Amino acid sequence: MTAATFTLRLARPADASLLATMSREFIEDGLRWTWRAPRIARQIESSDTVVLVALEGRRLAGFAIMSYGDTNAHLNLLAVDPAYRMQGLGRRMVDWLEKTARNAGIFRITLEVRAQNFGGRCFYKALGYREVLLLRGYYQGAEDAVRMRHNLRVDVTSS
């Protein structure tokens, strides 16, 4: 079996429905569905947000949504279709978003992950994110979250 070849590109408004479905199935499972197509379409059109999609051929394999402030960014959503997990796609999308953030002068990225999502927490830890806060009832009062943070500042004097 050959390894999948993925293409990353910015999302288009026509992608919003597929991304919303992926969010409902892989991120918001068990919760009230809030990342519906109109909300994602607004994120795609926002100048303060990047919506990144990963494709294998023409098939959606994953996506991520990151909002950018002056010095901080927030990873709102990251999903990889289970058929494409453990192939480096999540890492590749996060790397792309972090590089974009650094180019924009962003110093810190934060995110929340379900406290019971031990695989997700380990994934982010392996990428340099630190757990900084437990947020009780963060997900619609039903589930706790862990806030994680990654400092993008690079000490240029040590190179």
Residues noted as catalytic: 112, 124
Within 8 A by CB and 6+ apart from 135, the residues are 112, 144, 145, 146, 147
**Cβ count within 10 A of residue 3:** 7
User: Residue 138 has which token pair?
Assistant: 């963060």
Rama region for 128: left / alpha / beta (φ>0; ψ in -120 to 50; rest): left
User: Residue 135 has which token pair?
Assistant: 């947020």
- Cα dihedral sign, 121-149-147-105: negative
The β-bridge relationship of strands 49-56 and 108-114 is unpaired
**Measured distance CA(104)–CA(28) in Å, rounded:** 29
